[in-house]
Amino acid sequence: MYSTIDLHSHSTISDGILPAVELIAHAASHGVKILALTDHDDTRGLGIARATAEPLGLQLINGVEISVTWKRRTLHIVGLKIDPDYAPLKHGLEAIRLGRHTRAEHMAISLSKTGIHGSLEGAYQFAKEGIISRTHFARFLVEKGYAKDTKSVFKKYLVKGKPGFHEHEWASLEQAVTWIKDSGGIPVIAHPGRYELGRTNMLLLIEEFRALGGKALEVVTGSHTPPMYQEYAKYAKMFGLLASQGSDYHGKGSSYMEMGYLPPLPVGCIPVWHDWPEAKILIESGQSPMDDMTLNACASAIASLGNTASSGENSANSSTSNILEKTIKKLESFNWRNTL
Ligand code: AMP
Ligand code: MN
Ligand code: MN
Ligand code: MN
């Protein structure tokens, strides 16, 4: 049975193919009951998405996916239930979008040195009313015949070490988590399995994220394999974090996963929506995303969260090596068999 909750998706406001209105209709027709629109660094799609969702009986969650630089790597932090009008979040996202424009100019200059001209204008034509992203450069390059599809164009031109790549400094992890949290939202590490951080850095990242006020990990996502679902379910449990899920749908041919095909979270996860009124509505209308047993398991797991998570005050003030030492100790003493 597939889950009816999808907490990660993109419209043409970022690099999705469908305008928000069509994305909502697509989600509804694929059986999704609760959908978060999480465009990269932009919340302009949320108003129209909400107006479309309501008459279709779909519960819309205000979301965003913020680009972050952490230890010279790019990470994505999803914000769920954010207030898009919260000024620091709004201004923070504006600054990131300005940075996107500057990066795009550098990318175009760099591509022109390899003989590919007009890519800035070309990419902007694909971006239309939305933000400018590498995906739009990819679509332009495919259209011009430089590669056969988006996947190969990324490999050939748009990743580190390739001519169209330009190193860019996004928001800090602290900024992204703080903007989301202070706007009333829930910070989530998006698709952690995609970063290829290695175990030590993954532990450091999750601990730092948690100490800053981060609340959840994406456990089931279109860009994780089933073994990764289990792996990140364990990390969530270990750090006392909630579990999120989402298709990361970008449109047909541009997605890892079609909408409406998310498997349920692994047993033992506390869903990020465990206390959401939107989920309660589903339960009451007999379209429960959680049976009684799961709900009870959630309640007892939540009660014990304080014990599994390490103390926030201490970690926030600790040096990096202290945090690392503590998390590795915790990892060593962690009894995996008792968790899932
Ligand atoms: P940007 O935020 O502008 O750097 O663009 C990142 C976006 O490009 C991601 O959100 C994905 O949608 C897309 N993307 C990244 N890597 C790949 C890839 N290897 N193949 C296809 N799309 C990709
Ligand atoms: Mn994207
Ligand atoms: Mn992402
Ligand atoms: Mn995404």
In this predicted model, what pLDDT tens digit does every residue of 247-285 receive, in sequence order?
A: 999 999 888 899 999 999 999 899 999 999 999 888 777
- Ligand 1 pocket, residue 254 CB under 6 Å: no
Query: Whose Cα sits closest to atom 16 in ligand 1?
Result: 154
Cα–Cα dist 20/44, whole Å: 10
Domain range enclosing 313: 5-90+170-338
Residue 269 burial by CB count (10 A; 0-12/13-18/19+): exposed, middle or buried? buried
Calpha distance 79→315 (Å, rounded)? 22
Is there an atom of ligand 1 within 6 Å of 15 CB? yes
Between vectors from CA 155 to CA 152 and to CA 161, what angle results, nearest 5°? 160
Q: What is the pLDDT of residue 314?
A: 41
Residue with tokens 């270990």: 238
Ligand 1 atom with the smallest distance to the CA of 134 is 3
Confidence of residue 289 (pLDDT cuts 50, 70, 90): low
Q: Which residue owns the Cα nearest ligand 1 atom 17?
A: 154
In CATH, what number is assigned to the domain containing residue 266? 3.20.20.140
CA of 97 to the centre of ligand 3 (A): 16
Sign of CA dihedral 316, 321, 323, 326: negative
pLDDT tens for 182-203 read 999 999 999 999 999 999 999 9
Under the banding of pLDDT at 50, 70 and 90, the label for residue 246 is: very high
Q: Which amino acid is at 107?
A: M
User: What sign for the dihedral angle of Cα 315, 218, 6, 101?
Assistant: positive
State residue 284's pLDDT score. Answer: 75
Tokens representing residue 127 in the block:
């971006």
Residue 42 lies in a domain: yes
Q: What's the chain's average pLDDT?
A: 89
Which pLDDT does position 23 carry in this prediction?
A: 98
Quick one: DSSP state of residue 63? Answer: E
User: CB of 68 within 8 A of CB of 172?
Assistant: yes
In the prediction, which pLDDT does 282 show?
Answer: 80
Q: Residue 61 is inside which H or E element, if any? A: strand 59-70
Q: Is residue 140 part of a domain?
A: no
Q: What is the torsion angle, in degrees rounded to the nearest 10, for the CA atoms of residue 94, residue 98, residue 100 and residue 105? A: 170
160 assigned to some structural domain: no
Q: Report helix angle 173-182 to 199-212, nearest 10.
A: 40
- Cα 247 to ligand 2 centre (Å): 12
Cβ of 154 below 6 Å from ligand 1: yes
Q: Which atom of ligand 1 is nearest to the CA of 132?
A: 3
What confidence tier does 301 reach under pLDDT thresholds 50, 70, 90? low
Instruction: Say if ligand 1 is within 6 A of residue 40 CB.
Output: yes
Question: What's the CA gap between 103 and 91, in Å, rounded?
Answer: 18
Contacts of 108 (CB under 8 A, 6+ apart): 119, 120, 123
Q: Does residue 196 sit within a domain?
A: yes
Which residues are registered as beta bridge partners of 186? Answer: 80
- Mean pLDDT over 310-322 rounds to 47
Question: Is the C-beta atom of 250 inside 6 A of ligand 1?
Answer: yes
15 within a domain of the structure (yes/no): yes
* Nearest ligand to the CA atom of 136: 1
Distance of CA 54 to the CA centre of its chain: 24
Assess whether the C-beta atom of 150 lies below 6 angstroms from ligand 1: yes
Outline where the chain has alpha helix (H). Answer: 20-29, 46-56, 87-112, 119-127, 134-143, 150-153, 173-182, 199-212, 226-239, 277-284, 292-303, 305-308, 312-317, 320-333
Do the domain assignments include residue 331?
A: yes
Residue 330 lies in a domain: yes
What is the side-by-side strand order in the sheet with 5-6?
A: 5-6, 34-37, 59-70, 73-80, 186-189, 216-221, 242-246
Over residues 325-331, mean pLDDT: 55
pTM, 2 dp: 0.89
Q: What is the pLDDT of residues 119-176, one digit of tens each?
A: 999 999 999 989 999 999 999 999 999 999 989 999 999 999 999 999 999 999 999 9
Q: How many CA atoms lie within 13 A of 255 on its CB side?
A: 22
Count up the domains in the chain and report the number: 1
Residue bearing the CA closest to ligand 1, atom 20: 151
Is 66 a member of any domain? yes
Burial 20-40 (b: 16+ CB within 10 A, else e): bbebbbbbbebebbbbbbbbb
